[in-house]
């Protein structure tokens, strides 16, 4: 792989019983750019993310980040290496406030330490800073269960950013989000990318994909079938027919 600093995947395979989810997938994401990963439901995108981030172990292949083999590493070790990730279904603590959710994402002693009330002022200030940056500072003392789906997505992202990842994987950030919050998410991705963070975004909303992405990878049946800038993907007949409905 040519970019030692970035996220590179070679020959990744994963099967569940007789169903092949990943079929020798080889992808090199552009470091310092906004990458999108698109494809129909069942094409292997979420399994791909799960293998990269240590949620499941691949059957074969290799995942490297900044030249380091992270294949099958525990999720917390992958976070420590600099790769953060959100989920298609938000992972937040519903009965905890927004502020405590963000703090829980990075506290070394985990949730137990948080519930004991051990708080470092610098940590709290940084957590509030991310809530402000994402436009939900007014919800700092609101329990996550009382927030909208879009607000929970922003909250989850705030928790991811607390670990200061160099690369952020977003799994369907537009799903179930109203247009106003969707615009905010798109703006945030571009702003954070301009500040030096790499993004890989799994998304079905083609307006968002085309507006924020520098590079797009198209998945089908567990492996990439096309990749390139939005202008090229827009004109690819396989993509037009199968995914964009043109």
Domains of the chain plus CATH, in order, are: 1-82+169-246 (3.40.50.300), 87-164 (no CATH)
pLDDT, one tens digit per residue, over 121-150 is 888 999 999 999 999 999 999 999 999 999
pLDDT at 244 (0 to 100): 52
DSSP result, 41-94: TTSSHHHHHHHHTTSS--SEEEEEETTEE-TT--HHHHHHHTEEE--SS----T
pLDDT at 174 (0 to 100): 86
Sorting pLDDT into bands at 50, 70 and 90, what band is 51?
Answer: very high
pLDDT at 119 (0 to 100): 57
pLDDT at 18 (0 to 100): 87
C-alpha distances (whole Å) from 93 to each of 63, 102, 105, 159, 213 are 30, 10, 10, 11, 30
Sorting pLDDT into bands at 50, 70 and 90, what band is 2?
Answer: very low
Phi-psi label, residue 79: left if phi above 0, alpha if psi -120 to 50, beta otherwise: alpha
Mean pLDDT of the region 55-75: 95
pLDDT at 125 (0 to 100): 92
List 27's β-bridge partners, or say none.
Answer: 9
Q: 115 or 31: which carries more pLDDT confidence?
A: 31
- Least-confidence region, from 7-16, 28-37, 168-177, 210-219: 168-177
Say what percent of the chain tops pLDDT 90.
69
The pTM of this model reads: 0.89
């Amino acid at each position: 792989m040519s970019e030692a600093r970035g996220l590179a995947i070679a020959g990744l395979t994963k099967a569940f019983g007789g169903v092949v989810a990943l079929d020798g997938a080889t992808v090199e994401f552009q470091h310092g750019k906004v990458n999108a990963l698109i494809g129909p439901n069942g094409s292997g995108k979420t399994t791909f993310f799960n293998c990269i981030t240590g949620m499941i172990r691949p059957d074969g292949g290799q995942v490297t980040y900044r030249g380091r083999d992270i294949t099958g590493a525990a999720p917390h070790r992958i976070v420590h290496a600099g790769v953060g990730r959100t989920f298609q279904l938000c992972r937040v603590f519903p009965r905890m406030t927004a502020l405590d959710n963000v703090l829980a994402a990075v506290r070394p002693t985990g949730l137990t330490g948080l519930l004991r009330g051990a708080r470092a002022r610098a940590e709290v200030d940084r957590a509030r800073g991310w809530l402000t940056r994402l436009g939900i500072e007014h919800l700092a003392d609101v329990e996550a269960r009382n927030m909208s789906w879009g607000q929970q997505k922003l909250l989850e992202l705030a928790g991811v950013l607390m670990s200061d990842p160099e690369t952020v994987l977003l799994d369907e950030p537009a799903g179930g989000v109203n247009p106003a919050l969707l615009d905010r998410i798109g703006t945030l991705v571009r702003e954070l990318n301009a500040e030096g963070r790499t993004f890989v975004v799994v998304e079905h909303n083609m307006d968002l994909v085309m507006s924020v992405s520098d590079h797009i990878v198209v998945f089908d049946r567990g492996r990439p079938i096309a990749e390139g800038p939005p202008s090229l993907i827009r004109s690819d007949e396989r993509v037009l027919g199968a995914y964009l409905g043109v």
